[in-house]
């Protein structure tokens, strides 16, 4: 496999961004709700989670088209979580991806319902996908419920809120980020592997790989919240400090956080060596996550 990671990410990101609005525009629902959903879906972003689905299919030499609907579903869930995160009752943010947050444009009530709409529509994308077998759909939905629900992202968000203004241990912080960030990102990897008919031994390795990649992603987030560029990030830096959140740098020091990031990336890349196929693209994605600036 001879592919440059940035070329892959940019071309697949374009595919995802072309496909996502098509799943929303023809819905029979109030115009204001569709506009609110599309506003946040089309606001940009890295699209890392959906692209990871396609990266796994690429790694196993399977048609990437079979992952488009599932990839869009994941981005809808990620987007809904951001819409809700930004609400006054949660992080109370005015800016997301360089634009006013959803509730600033459409009001709190519509923003809440737009998030609800994106969440429920995501499951519809998976179960109505004409190119995926019923058996795979059931497995995908079961995995997605664990990753995005009370034992995953939602539970992690509650633990994150309850941890504000408290001095958390490293173990408590890792619990938050494994659930809030790593599990949904991990689902992208597992979904791609399931759709690609990867061997079960590989799926077990990829589950472990996704944990290390997800934690590394969050550590880099914490570092960027201190050292990042607001223009590149599309949101204010220093919000973790303002919200009195425990972060990896606050526990480990900045250098300690960078060392921890390197350790998780190293463990993730080591696991790729034990797959039944070469995973050069996934190795490049590991490096990209470790060095990203937004």
Give me the average pLDDT of each 10-residue run along the chain (294 residues).
79 96 95 97 92 97 97 98 95 88 97 98 97 98 97 95 90 95 96 98 97 95 81 56 78 95 97 96 95 82
pLDDT score, position 227? 86
pTM for the model stands at 0.92
Residue with tokens 């973790």: 240
**Burial bucket for residue 26 (CB in 10 Å: 0-12, 13-18, 19+):** exposed
Bridge partners of 99, per DSSP, are: 96
Q: How many domains does the chain have?
A: 1
Question: Token pair 């799943």 is at which residue?
Answer: 23
Residue 232 is predicted with a pLDDT of 53
Residue 245 is classified by DSSP as -
Neighbours of 266 (CB within 10 A): 13
What CATH number is given to the structural domain containing 129?
Answer: 1.10.600.10
What pLDDT, on a 0 to 100 scale, did the predictor assign at position 1? 43
Q: How many CB atoms lie within 10 A of CB 213?
A: 29
Q: What is the pLDDT of residue 230?
A: 57
Boundaries of domain holding 256: 5-291
Do the Cβ atoms of 272 and 209 come closer than 8 Å? yes
Tokens (6 digits) for 230: 């607001």
Handedness of CA 106, 125, 145, 281 (dihedral sign): negative
Quote the tokens at residue 237.
Answer: 């830096």
pLDDT for position 294 = 72
Q: Residue 289: its pLDDT value, please?
A: 92
Instruction: Report residue 169 CA to chain centroid gap.
Output: 24
Looking at residue 206, what is its pLDDT? 97
Closest CA to 257 of 226, 286, 222, 228: 222
Which residues, 6+ apart, have CB-to-CB distance to 147 below 8 Å? 153, 183, 184, 186, 187
Helices and strands per DSSP (H, E), number in the chain:
16, 2
């Amino acid at each position: 496999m001879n592919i440059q990671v940035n070329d892959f990410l940019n071309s697949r990101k374009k595919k995802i961004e072309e496909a996502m609005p098509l799943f929303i525009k023809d819905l029979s629902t109030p115009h204001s709700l569709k506009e609110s959903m599309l506003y946040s879906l089309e606001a940009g972003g890295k699209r890392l989670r959906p692209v990871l689905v396609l990266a796994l299919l690429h790694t196993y030499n399977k048609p990437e088209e079979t992952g488009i609907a599932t990839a869009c579903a994941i981005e809808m869930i990620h987007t809904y979580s951001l819409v809700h995160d930004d609400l006054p009752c949660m992080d109370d943010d005015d800016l997301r991806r360089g634009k006013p947050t959803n509730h600033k444009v459409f009001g709190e009530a519509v923003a809440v319902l737009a998030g609800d709409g994106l969440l429920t529509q995501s499951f519809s994308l998976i179960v109505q996908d004409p190119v995926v077998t019923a058996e795979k759909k059931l497995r995908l939905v079961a995995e997605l419920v664990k990753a995005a629900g009370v034992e995953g992202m939602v539970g992690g968000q509650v633990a994150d809120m309850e941890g504000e203004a408290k001095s958390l241990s490293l173990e408590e912080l890792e619990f938050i980020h494994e659930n809030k960030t790593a599990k949904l990102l991990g689902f992208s990897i597992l979904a791609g592997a399931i759709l690609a008919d990867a061997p079960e031994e590989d799926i077990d390795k990829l589950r472990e790989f996704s944990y290390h990649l997800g934690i590394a992603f969050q550590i880099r987030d914490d570092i960027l919240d201190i050292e990042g560029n607001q223009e590149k990030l599309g949101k204010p830096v220093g919000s973790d400090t303002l919200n009195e959140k425990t972060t990896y740098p606050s526990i480990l020091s900045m250098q300690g956080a960078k060392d921890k990031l390197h350790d998780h990336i190293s463990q993730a890349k080591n696991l790729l060596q034990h797959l039944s196929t070469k995973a050069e693209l996934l190795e490049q994605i590991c490096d990209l996550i470790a060095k990203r600036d937004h």
